[in-house]
Amino acid sequence: MTAQPPLSITFHGAAQTVTGSCMELARGDGGKHILVDCGLFQGSRTLETLNHGQLGFDPSDIAAVVLTHAHIDHCGLLPRLMAMGWQGPIWCTRATADLLEYMLADAGRIQEGDATRRNRRPDRRGAAHFEPLYTERDGLAAWRAARPVPLDTWFEPAPGFRARLWPAGHILGSASAEIEAGGVRLLCSGDIGPENKELQPDAEGPCNLDYVVCESTYGNRVREHLTIAARRDALETEIKQALVRGGNLVIPVFALERTQELLTDIIHLVEANRIPGVPIFVDSPLASRATRVFAVHADELEDLDGIDIARHPSVHYVEDPVDSMHLNTISGAIIMAASGMCEAGRIRHHLKHNLCRRESTVLFVGFQAAGSLGRVILEGAPRVRISGNEVSVHARIRRIDTYSAHADQSELAAWIRARKPIRGSLILSHGEPEGIEALAALMQQEDAALSIIRPALGETYGLTPGAPAKRLTTGRTDIQQAMGHDWQNDYAAFAATLKDELSHIKGQAERQRAIEAMRRILSQAQG
């Protein structure tokens, strides 16, 4: 019988993709396992179906979860775990635990609301009833399982495992997780923030490890490194150019961190009379609640300069859905709404009413995953489908890269260097293939002897002290096809432009022949 390695790691998410972060650590002695993160897949509809499928692990094997931070792509499957009867502890920082109360409850409400909307859509008539992934009640159950621990303090998440958390500089409460088990010393980066990030202190971590699992979201991108003052200058320019057009400035935001950073900068500009005195609407109940958590933890934050973003008179927090819908009748305002990738939440109805307006501007300030509505808009689609409706894109589309909560390639490389020596392997996760390959090439160029692993979803690796990771099982081929741009993206783009393209065919008979030809092709493809 082949001896089992002291420790193994299985990637159930965020491998060759940027969402669904979930790693399972198992000791070779057959004891209980732990998870590092348990996040929601986000992006295309095909990718999102993975949230409803098999988890890839048996919940009864899992003794505990070590959670790096409160973003939904890292914690958003915890309520499903609770709904399946799991009752273990979720170890995290105090700020993360405070945020989970609102993040996971809101995630449950979104799941329930999304299921209701899908079932009402006219294009789903006759389809099977769509059930929510989990409920608000499940989200609150997961929050109650949170067990806060201080940074740089060893704790035992499960028998045979020792762990401590390090600041990751990504969002409020974010951490990297150092794990010791079976003689193996492992560091899971979580999401690493950029250097000199507003509000959050710089990332830290230990060195001299066996294995480092590092995110690579921006592994192929080097951003212009602006000071906070320069970033505010860039934001001032975008706001002025948008408002002079007479329409709204719509900003898709992540309710957690991005909203609070933007508010800090916008309020600075307002206080200095650098932008027009227009109303600023934060149309996200979750962002409103998260902002109150930031106020509670204000002593942990940097660069606030005495500003109270929760109570500034220029900012209007929109709670009631009726008030949210009323914003569709106004012009000349700044509207910040979640979600940041435009996949759910109130941003979708603001896009529905503003994308078609030439005087409006949509400003992207965060990463847009492949297959997400935000990525489709950013890549220049002339039409998009939103909640079953075709919407023409006439608004001005803009992007500011300097608000990213993720380190870029140079900052990730610096973080990895600071962890050396790495005696076993550097494992690159949480990135699209291009980002992973670019970061791997850079690190290999610097150290040709370094073992670099690029795990696929579902793969398991054996971890032995001081030795390169060894692949024990291959990935799940059934889910590799679900990543990135999928057929539903192509269908949405095709359907959104089909009527216009048919109208450019001269003659009704020719149009009819084109439709019949398409039907024949579809029939032949079905066999």
Assigned CATH class of 7-222+405-480: alpha beta
Question: What digits encode the pLDDT tens for the residues 21-46?
Answer: 999 999 988 889 999 999 999 877 77
Q: Is the dihedral of CA 505, 511, 514, 519 positive or negative?
A: positive
Which of the four CATH numbers 3.40.50.1000, 3.40.50.300, 3.40.50.2000, 3.40.50.10890 does domain 228-399 have? 3.40.50.10890
Average pLDDT per 10 consecutive residues for the chain, totaling 527 residues? 82 94 94 96 80 91 98 97 95 98 94 86 77 95 98 97 97 98 97 91 96 97 89 96 96 93 94 93 94 92 84 93 94 93 90 96 88 91 89 96 90 98 98 97 97 97 97 77 56 64 80 83 75
pTM, two decimal places: 0.85
* Domain assignments of the chain as residue spans, ordered by start: 7-222+405-480, 228-399
Question: Which one-letter amino acid corresponds to residue 7?
Answer: L
Residue 2: Cβ-neighbour burial (10 angstroms; 0-12, 13-18, 19+): exposed
DSSP state letters, 385-448: EETTEEEE--SEEEE--TT-SS-BHHHHHHHHHTT--EEEEEEEESS-HHHHHHHHHHHHHH-T
CA 322 to chain CA centroid, Å, is 28
Segments of 218-266 assigned E as strands: 249-252
| Rounded Cα gap, residues 141 and 422, in angstroms | 38
Q: And the tokens for 448?
A: 């040709």
DSSP state letters, 151-205: TT--EEEETTEEEEEEE-SSSTT-EEEEEEETTEEEEE--SPPPTT-SSSPPP--
Q: Which residues are paired to 315 by β-bridges? A: 280
| Rounded Cα gap, residues 261 and 1, in angstroms | 55
Q: And the tokens for 295?
A: 């106020």
Question: What digits encode the pLDDT tens for the residues 264-302?
Answer: 999 999 999 999 989 999 999 999 999 999 999 988 898
Q: And the tokens for 474?
A: 């291959």
Distances in Å between the Cα of 54 and the Cα atoms of 60, 81, 84, 89, 207 are: 14, 11, 12, 22, 36
